[in-house]
Chain A
C-alpha cells in the first residue's frame, strides 16, 4: 500500500503533496473549530503510534501478502484528527523503515487520509439515520474500517495502473497490480472487524472517546 520513491512520475508526487497540503489545512481548520482542539490530542497521538506499527503486521494472502493499514480505524475513532495523524505516521514510517518514501509522502497521505475522512463520515451516518444500539454501531464501524481501506486500495490501484512506465512489461505489471489489489479484499474484512471491535470496546469502557 505504501508507494515507495522512484515508482511514480514527478507530476503525480507533486500533485499528491498539493492534495495533502489542502486536506491538512482543511482538517486542521475543522479541528480548530472544536470547543477544545487539544482535547483529542492524546487519543490521536496514541492511535498514530498504533498506525505507525501497523504496517509491520503482515497477513499472507496467497500469492502475495498484505499488511495492516488501519486508516479506516483512525478515521472512525479520530474524525478530522485522522488526517494529520496519518501524515505524521507515514512520515515516520518513511524515514525509519523506508515504507513509502519522502517524495511519495504526499501521495500516500492523500491515498490513506482521504478515505479515513470518508470512513469518519460513513460512521457518523449512523446518527444521521437515527439508528441506535451497539449492533448498528458495530455495523457502521465495520463499514467505516472496511471502506477506508478499500477506497485507499482502489486509489493505489488507479495510481499504479495508470503510471506504468513503457519500459516495463506492461501486462505482467498489470497482472501483479491486480493480484495485489485483490489481496486487499480479505484485509478489508479484517480491518472492518477490528475497527468494529475497537469501537464497541471503547464505547463500553469510555463512550466519550467515540464521536457521536
Chain B
C-alpha cells in the first residue's frame, strides 16, 4: 500500500503544477470579416504563439494543391483574402516542427458575394483548465482503481523468499 501512496503523491504533485503549464497541443482561432478576409491566430496550448509557423491555404475546389502559402508573424497571426468566386470550405494548415493543426472554414456563396455579413469567429478553443483537471482526475482514478483491483487479488508482499 505504501508504494501506492508514494506514487499517488508524485501524481498529485504533477497535477498541482499542471494548472499553469500546458504541453504542446495547438489551438487556432479565426475571424472572418468581409470583404472577405480571414484572419487566424495560432498558438500552442501553452498560450505561446506559433511565431513564424508556416501556413498553407487550400481552396474548396482543389483541396490538394496549395492555394496560398505564407508564414505567421511573431504573434502567430496570419490573414488573407479568399477568392470570392470560390465558396465552400477553405482549409488552412498551420505547422511548425511537426506540430500543427488543420482548420476548416466554411464560407457560403452569400457570405462571399454580399461583401458584407456577420463576422464569423470560431476555431479550436480547447478545454478550460477546470475541464482538463476533471477529465484527468477521472482517467487517473481509472488507473488507480485498476491498480487497487489487481493489488487486492493477492495478499501483498507475502511471497516466500522475498525478505530482502
CB distance from B79 to the nearest CB of A (A): 18
Residues in B whose Cβ lies below 8 Å from that of A96: 132, 135-136, 139
Assess the B46–A65 pair: CB atoms within 8 A: yes
Assess the B136–A53 pair: CB atoms within 8 A: yes
Once the chains are docked, how many angstroms separate the CA of A64 from the CA of B15?
A: 22
Once the chains are docked, how many angstroms separate the CA of A202 from the CA of B146?
A: 21
A interface SS class: helix
Assess the A45–B22 pair: CB atoms within 8 A: no
Contact bitstring A1-38, B, C-beta under 8 A = 1, else 0? 11111110000000000000000000000000000101
CB distance from A86 to the nearest CB of B (A): 13
B119 at the interface (CB under 8 A from A): no
Residues in B whose Cβ lies below 8 Å from that of A99: 23-25
Q: Which of the segments A124-132, A133-141, A204-212 contacts the partner chain? A: A204-212
CB distance from B107 to the nearest CB of A (A): 21
Once the chains are docked, how many angstroms separate the CA of A101 from the CA of B154?
A: 37
Q: Which of the segments B35-43, B89-97, B109-117 contacts the partner chain? A: B89-97
Once the chains are docked, how many angstroms separate the CA of A143 from the CA of B35?
A: 59
Contact bitstring B18-61, A, C-beta under 8 A = 1, else 0? 10011111100000000000000000011010001010100000
Assess the B136–A42 pair: CB atoms within 8 A: no
Assess the A56–B95 pair: CB atoms within 8 A: no
Given contacts A52-B139, A168-B69, contact A39 B97 (CB under 8 A): no
Q: For A205, give its contact among B6, B10, B45, B56 (CB under 8 Å).
A: B6
Once the chains are docked, how many angstroms separate the CA of A67 from the CA of B25?
A: 11
B160 at the interface (CB under 8 A from A): no
Q: For A67, give its contact among B24, B126, B132, B162 (CB under 8 Å).
A: B24
CB distance from B51 to the nearest CB of A (A): 9
Interface bracket on B: 35 or more
Once the chains are docked, how many angstroms separate the CA of A159 from the CA of B126?
A: 27
A49 at the interface (CB under 8 A from B): yes
Q: For B11, give its contact among A53, A58, A98 (CB under 8 Å).
A: A53
Contact bitstring B132-164, A, C-beta under 8 A = 1, else 0? 100110011001101110110110010000101
Assess the A205–B24 pair: CB atoms within 8 A: no
Q: Which of the segments A114-122, A144-152, A175-183, A185-193 contacts the partner chain? A: A175-183
Assess the A58–B21 pair: CB atoms within 8 A: yes
Q: For A156, give its contact among B2, B98, B102 (CB under 8 Å).
A: B98
A154 at the interface (CB under 8 A from B): no
Assess the B18–A53 pair: CB atoms within 8 A: yes
Contact bitstring A74-114, B, C-beta under 8 A = 1, else 0? 00000000000000000010001111000000000000000
Can you name the residue of chain A whose Cβ is closest to the Cβ of B53? A176
Once the chains are docked, how many angstroms separate the CA of A166 from the CA of B162?
A: 59
Assess the B7–A47 pair: CB atoms within 8 A: yes
A/B interface sample: 5 pairs, CB < 8 A? A2-B23, A36-B154, A50-B7, A50-B10, A169-B69
Query: Which residues does A use to contact B, with CB under 8 Å?
Result: 1-7, 36, 38-39, 41-43, 45-50, 52-58, 64-67, 92, 96-99, 156, 159-160, 167-169, 172-173, 176-177, 179-180, 201-202, 205-209
